[in-house]
Amino acid sequence: MLLEIKDIHVHYGKIAALKGISVEVNEGEIVTLIGANGAGKTTTLKTISGLRGLTSGKIIFDGRDISKMPGHKRVVAGLGQAPEGRGIFPGMTVHDNLLMGAYARTTSSSKELAEAYELFPRLAERRDQAAGTMSGGEQQMLAIGRALMARPKVLLLDEPSMGLAPLLVQQIFSIIEEINRRGVTVLLVEQNAQQALKLAHRAYVLETGRVVKSAAASDLLNDPAVQAAYLGGG
Ligand code: ATP
């Protein structure tokens, strides 16, 4: 197992946002977390990437307990992240944003750069454009491309389809599939449960800070309760 989240509890002040979440991600998988607004999906990802601290529980990554490791060290260890709201540097060019993604690498990044531009030809066309002037979809591509520059073992994706037109959503999802095919394990948080379940191998359903169901994604797509709650009635 590549990533194991064991019974994590996370608080915002006195409010318990996560009340004992356990999630397992095997090497090579795409795993998705789905659930309503406020269920704790983003908090789970932020806790894995080190942006939020744990009250209790453990995060094991690649055989190491990283529960207390600072976020930037987790990136170096192989946890790549493309956060909700993109988190790109708006005043810098597309190219420089990509290079920032490789800041922790000690060897040349030319291979990773070429791969990012190959996966996202749109970024290659716009390499000298200020990132902040790119469209929402382009910024999402940039956030994913930048995360890949660090050659992550696992890519954490928070709502990559947020705010995108349907055609672009399709594009982003097929690129995520391609990234996975090239050997990157993916943990995906999505509001768009239908698309996420079509893409993922396995899925966890979160409700108010707890996992209420986990199964093969294809089983959840056909689960009447999941259809009624998250897939527009089924
Ligand atoms: P969404 O799909 O709406 O993004 P989510 O499943 O990602 O929802 P979280 O953002 O993880 O849910 O929120 C989980 C709970 O923690 C919610 O009740 C939310 O109000 C609360 N919460 C999140 N961030 C904070 C914060 N910075 N301060 C206080 N409470 C927070």
Please name the residue whose Cα sits nearest to atom 16 of ligand 1.
Answer: 17
Predicted pLDDT at 232: 78
- Whether 62 and 54 have beta carbons less than 8 Å apart is answered as no
* Cα 45 from Cα 87, distance rounded (Å): 15
Compute the chain's Rg from CA coordinates: 17
For residue 180, CA distances in Å to 44, 142, 162 come to 21, 17, 20
pLDDT of amino acid 149: 93
Distance 234 CA to ligand 1 centre (A): 27
102 Cβ contact list (under 8 Å, min separation 6): 109, 112, 113, 149, 150
Ligand 1, atom 18, lies closest to the CA of 38
Q: Which atom of ligand 1 is nearest to the CA of 42?
A: 7
Classify strands 30-35 and 185-189 as parallel, antiparallel or unpaired: parallel
The answer to whether 82 and 157 are in contact (CB under 8 A) is: yes
Q: Whose CA is nearest to atom 29 of ligand 1?
A: 12
C-alpha dist (Å) from residue 88 to 105, 123, 141, 191, 222: 19, 13, 10, 21, 37
Distance 93 CA to ligand 1 centre (A): 31
Ligand 1 binding residues, C-beta < 6 A: 12, 15, 17, 35, 37-43, 191
Is the separation of the CB atoms in 199 and 157 below 8 Å?
no
Instruction: Count CB atoms within 10 A of the CB of residue 143.
Output: 24
Ligand 1 atom at minimal distance to the Cα of residue 15: 30
In a structure prediction context, what are the per-residue pLDDT tens digits for the chain, which is 234 residues long?
999 999 999 999 999 999 999 999 999 999 999 998 999 999 999 999 999 999 999 999 999 999 999 998 999 999 998 876 668 899 999 999 999 888 766 677 889 999 999 999 999 999 999 999 999 889 999 999 999 998 999 999 999 988 888 888 999 999 999 999 999 999 999 989 999 999 999 999 999 999 999 999 999 999 999 999 988 764
Walk me through the domains of the chain, giving residue ranges and CATH numbers. 3-230 (3.40.50.300)
- Report the pLDDT value the prediction gives residue 82, as an integer from 0 to 100: 86
- DSSP letters spanning 96-156: HHHHHTTTT-SS--HHHHHHHHHH-HHHHHTTTSBGGGS-HHHHHHHHHHHHHTT--SEEE
Would you say 75 and 28 are in contact if contact means Cβ atoms under 8 Å apart?
Answer: no
